[in-house]
Structure 1
Amino acid sequence: MSLSKDWAPPGETESDLWLERSNLDGMMLGCVAYGILFVLIVQALQSLWRKPRTGRRSWWLIIYVICILILATVGAGTNIKFIEMTYIDYRNYPGGPNAFTFDLYGTPINVADFTAFVLVNWLTDGMMVYRFSMIWNFKPFMIVFPILIFLGSVSMSISLLIGISSPGVGFWSASAARFTIAYWSLTLSLNVILTTLIVGRLWFMRRQMHSLFGKEYTRTYTSIMAMLIESASIVTVFDFIFVVSYARNSNVQNVVLPALGIGQAIGPMLIILRVANGRAWNKDTAAGTRTATGLTWNASGRKNASNTVVPLSELGNKSFGTHNTGSVTKTEGGFNSPSEYDLRAKTTAAAAEEAV
């Protein structure tokens, strides 16, 4: 049996049907993003719950991941419920599903959906600002501007939430549009700036490592930079598509918005996985030192287990100063054996892997 256009909903044009399709497609794409995020969250919680070598669990990270899970689940669930209300429960609303969406966008279930996604955005942007500050050693002149952008996006999102929850305003009104474009533009700018500055610092450290130890110990930087660029580009591309389509009042906005609301947490979750596996930048690294257990050689050429302290802040210098590693004292600019040099390189490379 062939399909007939006569079976289409009566009184709806092709543009009306495209609008309805975009809402359904957006919900499905948001579910895909939720599935990816859920898998990453489960992996992160498993890694964080395992007792680390230090004997202490990072409870604040566990709570952070659980909060992301709760908010993402609430956002995805309420979005599905609003779609059910639009196309099933209140299908005969005067004007059809599209009129229901425009007139009742501020219904509590949909406001809860939007609020959950905004809170996820606060947590993910806040995490990125914190990691950026740590990588740049909390230098005030570097972190003030990103913090101001973050606070600006928070204030714009609060104004947007107040606007869409007010009767008769809606998401597509002129007043809400100003806050919407400002909010997502600030979020987009923040992600681009932070990713660029983080990758720039890693690139600089990679060059210093290359000049000291050669290509073998710079691969970590390349993989980290690739991960950052790839994870940030996902959110950046979706964010850019949404801002442009929303400003042009295109139905594409309905396709990308649910996925953007959930998928924005994927990048920070990848970072937390590195933290949970002991491969992320910590306070010791930010302060410029890293302690690692390894093998050194004493004066007689025998191996000794000891702790090697490598000051990353001195990567730009050809000399490391004097560092005592048990029975061997490293003098400025010198190593007692090629194996010691190789150990120092490996230890410094391990510290480099701490970079997000």
Structure 2
Amino acid sequence: MTSSEEPLSLRFAQFFGVMTGLMAYGIHFTLFVMTACLLMKQRHTMRRASFYLTYTCLQFTLSSIGMWRDVVGESVSYLEHGNDPAIAGPIEYYNVYFRSPPEWVSVLAFAACTWLQDGLLLYRCLLFYSNKRVIIVLPALLFIGSIVTSILFIIEVATSRDLYGSTSIDLGIPYWALSIAFNLVVTLLIIARLYVLRREVRRSLTPDAADVYTSVGAMLVESAALYSVTGLVFIACYARDSGAQYVFITWLGQFESISPLLIILRVAQGRAWSASAPPPVTNPANVIRLNHMRNSHKAGEQAASGVSVTVETVTADPGTRFAVDAEEEKKREKWHRLGLKSTQQVGDV
């Protein structure tokens, strides 16, 4: 075979895929640094901060290994074997002959990223449906199925040394199909739940506060829709052996790490849904706080009484009784007495 037998459009698709994959990796790196720094600051105050920090570091490491292997393979294939007359072209060399490191290294790294992402999504879905856990049965079965098929796929790639061989494709299609089906199901479940909660929250919070949890962007991030849509396009291209698969597979390798990073970043910022966020609110109740005035030269009633009155509106569920801390009540009585004493002194003058 000669290098002219390999379509130029196919070479361009693979090269373009790796180059744009590096752009996605840059986005991944930026989000990783932002999230890691935020989690480091909150590791002593935020629940599960250490867990999320370990998770993000592991995701980034695995994604970096997979990307490193792809870049090395691409460089060797195009720079050293781009015009090799013994093979059809750099793509054939990359897919068949390049073995240092072997193909299964990047396949294993990205598969592990998929396991981590799907595990986090399953956990998030469990939070949204904590009272209806039977709904989680289907996603859980799809999750287990994707892990089993991915292991078989990795073994086949390691044995045949060809990611795009017929047997590898026969195992790769069900692996990615199950993983993407899992993501689509979880995406729809989370968006459906967020839509229901959107109506409830908008009745109790201000529009700006509600948008933090219920905006379209929040829904897409919480449900990892980025990976689901990209994966759906990739599986169609992979099954048809289209050249576009080279583009989407590199994006998919990064999006499976970017999607959970966006969720964890929202968690670290306190903008993501949790088991208790946002708190349910319905009826308003007025709370009056008495604050001692340190400056006696203030004009008006505040100067006369030495006490400023701040009225705040808080919300609570119907029938909730507000418990007043004993120490706080003593302080309020003390400031009140000081205020009355100050009023008497002003009257004497």
Q: TM-score range by the shorter chain?
A: 0.7 to 0.9
Question: Do the aligned partners of residues 142 and 303 (structure 1) sit closer, same or farther apart at CA in structure 2, a change above 3 Å counting?
Answer: farther
2:166 matches 1:162: no
In structure 2, what is the equivalent of residue 297 of structure 1? Answer: 287
Task: Indicate the residue corresponding to 1:36 in structure 2.
Answer: 27
How far is 1:135 from its partner?
1.9
Within 5 Å, which residues of 2 pair with 1:124-163? 124-137=117-130, 139-163=132-156
| Partner secondary structure for residue 224 of structure 2 | helix
Evaluate the alpha carbon distance shift between residue 202 and residue 228 of structure 1 in structure 2; reply closer, same or farther with a 3 A threshold.
Answer: closer
Moved more, 47-56 or 258-267: 47-56
Change (3 A) 1:283 1:309: farther
The structure 2 residue matched to 1:191, chosen from 172, 179, 183, is 183
How many equivalent residue pairs? Answer: 303
Name the structure 1 match of 2:219. Answer: 228
Task: Measure how far apart 1:232 and its partner are.
Answer: 3.3
Structure 2 equivalent of residue 113 of structure 1: 106
Whether the aligned pair in 2 keeps the contact of 1:129 and 1:194 (CA below 8 Å) is: yes
Residue number in structure 2 paired with 1:17? 8
SS at match of 1:80: helix
Distance (whole Å) between structure 1 residues aligned to residue 323 and residue 312 of structure 2: 9
Task: Give percent identity, aligned residues only.
Answer: 28
The answer on whether the counterparts of 2:201 and 2:210 sit within 8 Å (CA) in structure 1 is: yes
Give the gaps of 5 or more residues in structure 2: 291-307, 326-349
> Aligned equivalents of 1:305 and 1:52: distance in 2?
32
Deviations 1:250-280 (A, max 9, x none): 1111111111111222121111111112222
- The aligned runs of 1:1-356 (5 Å cut-off) are 11-13=3-5, 15-51=6-42, 54=45, 58-91=49-82, 92=84, 94-95=86-87, 96-104=89-97, 108-137=101-130, 139-167=132-160, 170-212=162-204, 215=207, 218-223=210-215, 225-229=216-220, 232-285=224-277, 297-298=287-288, 303=310, 320-326=318-324
SS class of match (1:82): helix
1:120 Cα offset (Å): 0.9
1: distance between equivalents of 2:239 and 2:99?
20
Measured in 2, the distance between the counterparts of 1:51 and 1:99 equals 48
Q: Structure 1 regions of 5+ residues with no counterpart?
A: 1-8, 311-318, 328-356
Residue identity matched to 2:287:
W
Change beyond 3 A, Cα 1:279–1:220: closer
Residues 1:87 and 1:203: Cα distance change in structure 2 (over 3 Å): same
Contact 1:115/1:161 (CA < 8 Å) preserved in 2? Answer: yes
The CA deviation at 1:324 is: 2.3
TM-score scaled by structure 2? 0.76
Q: 1:105 to 1:156 in 2, by over 3 A?
A: farther
Separation in 1 of the partners of 2:227 and 2:253?
9
| Length-normalised TM-score, structure 1 | 0.75
